[in-house]
């Protein structure tokens, strides 16, 4: 199995307003590590703007594009400017404007505990129950509907660590992911699908992506957790989009 690209990597730009050291590498270091491991493509996907501790600053996006162009030239690895945006409401809002989206090649959406809710109402309705990791029927229903709405509203390429602190009905999410060409992640740190979930997701033709979610350059391309999970639960190779070839990515114009 050849891993073609790692589509979920962080750098020092995931530092937030307090410049917390959340991830350690630079864009060039992530690309160099990718090259060493034989990857053809990576995405730099910092935490979205509303993440209080680790979010990337909007003003850094243009600077990141320049660094990416430079790192591409130096390493020959293709690098996408992405983001790991936050879902911030039960209505499926994420922390991206249409102007932001125009600047990006690749969009991940995930739920994160420290992302600011859209407003106070959504804090109590959406963020708080998920911070508490509640899995009542009504939480699953609300979260599933929210993520489906997000997939309809935004050109999302990938849902990161589905089910982590956001309980979901995977069967409903899987169908919607197939209909909207959205990948579901086999995350390098957190995988929440049960064996039964996987069986149904594979049957309906869900496309997965095995990514590292690297927070240091050395971990770029380390997708063993996802691959081992795929082997254990019989996910066929053809259902993993970043093996052997470039995946179809809706935001990447040249694809």
Binding stretches for Zn ion (CB under 5 A): 84, 110, 160, 213
**Three-class DSSP labels, the chain:** CCECEEEEECCCCCCCCCCCCCCCCCHHHHHHHHHHCCCCEEEEEEECCCECCCCCCHHHHHHHHHHHHHHHHHHCCEEEEEEEEEECCCCCCECCCHHHHHCCCEEEEECCCCECCCCHHHHHHHHHHHHCCCCCHHHHHHHHHHHHHHHHHCCCCEECCCCCCCCCCHHHHHHHHHHCCCEEEECCCCCCCCHHHHHHHHHCCCCEEECCCECCHHHCCCCHHHHHHHHHCCCCHHHECCECCCCCCCCCCCC
Identity of the residue, 177 or 214, whose beta carbon is nearer to Zn ion in the bound complex: 214
**CB of residue 55 to Zn ion, shortest distance in Å:** 11
Identity of the residue, 115 or 241, whose beta carbon is nearer to Zn ion in the bound complex: 115
Length of the chain: 255
Identity of the residue, 44 or 235, whose beta carbon is nearer to Zn ion in the bound complex: 44
Identity of the residue, 110 or 226, whose beta carbon is nearer to Zn ion in the bound complex: 110
**CB of residue 10 to Zn ion, shortest distance in Å:** 6
Identity of the residue, 22 or 118, whose beta carbon is nearer to Zn ion in the bound complex: 22
Identity of the residue, 43 or 241, whose beta carbon is nearer to Zn ion in the bound complex: 43
**CB of residue 111 to Zn ion, shortest distance in Å:** 8
**CB of residue 94 to Zn ion, shortest distance in Å:** 13
**CB of residue 226 to Zn ion, shortest distance in Å:** 13
**CB of residue 238 to Zn ion, shortest distance in Å:** 26
């Amino acid at each position: 199995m050849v891993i073609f690209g790692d589509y979920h990597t962080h750098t020092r730009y995931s530092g937030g307003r307090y410049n917390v050291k959340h991830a350690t590498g630079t864009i060039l270091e992530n690309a160099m590590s990718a090259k060493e491991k034989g990857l053809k493509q990576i995405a730099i996907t910092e935490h979205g703007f509303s993440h209080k501790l680790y979010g990337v600053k909007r003003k850094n996006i243009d600077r990141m594009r320049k660094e990416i162009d430079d790192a591409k030239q130096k390493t020959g690895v293709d690098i996408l400017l992405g983001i790991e945006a936050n879902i911030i409401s039960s209505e499926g809002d994420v922390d991206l404007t249409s102007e932001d989206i125009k600047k990006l090649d690749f969009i991940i959406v995930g739920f994160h505990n420290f992302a600011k809710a859209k407003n106070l109402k959504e804090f109590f309705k959406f963020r708080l129950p998920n911070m508490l990791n509640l899995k009542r029927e009504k939480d699953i229903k609300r979260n599933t509907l929210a993520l489906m709405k997000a997939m309809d509203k935004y050109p999302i390429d990938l849902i990161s660590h589905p089910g982590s602190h956001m309980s979901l009905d995977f069967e409903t999410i899987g169908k919607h992911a197939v209909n909207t060409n959205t990948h579901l992640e086999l995350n390098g740190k957190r995988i929440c699908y049960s064996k039964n979930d996987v069986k149904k997701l594979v049957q309906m033709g869900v496309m997965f992506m095995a990514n590292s979610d690297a927070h240091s350059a050395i971990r770029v391309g380390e997708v063993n957790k996802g691959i081992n999970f795929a082997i254990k639960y019989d996910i066929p190779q053809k259902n993993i989009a970043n093996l052997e070839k470039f995946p179809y990515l809706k935001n990447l114009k040249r694809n």
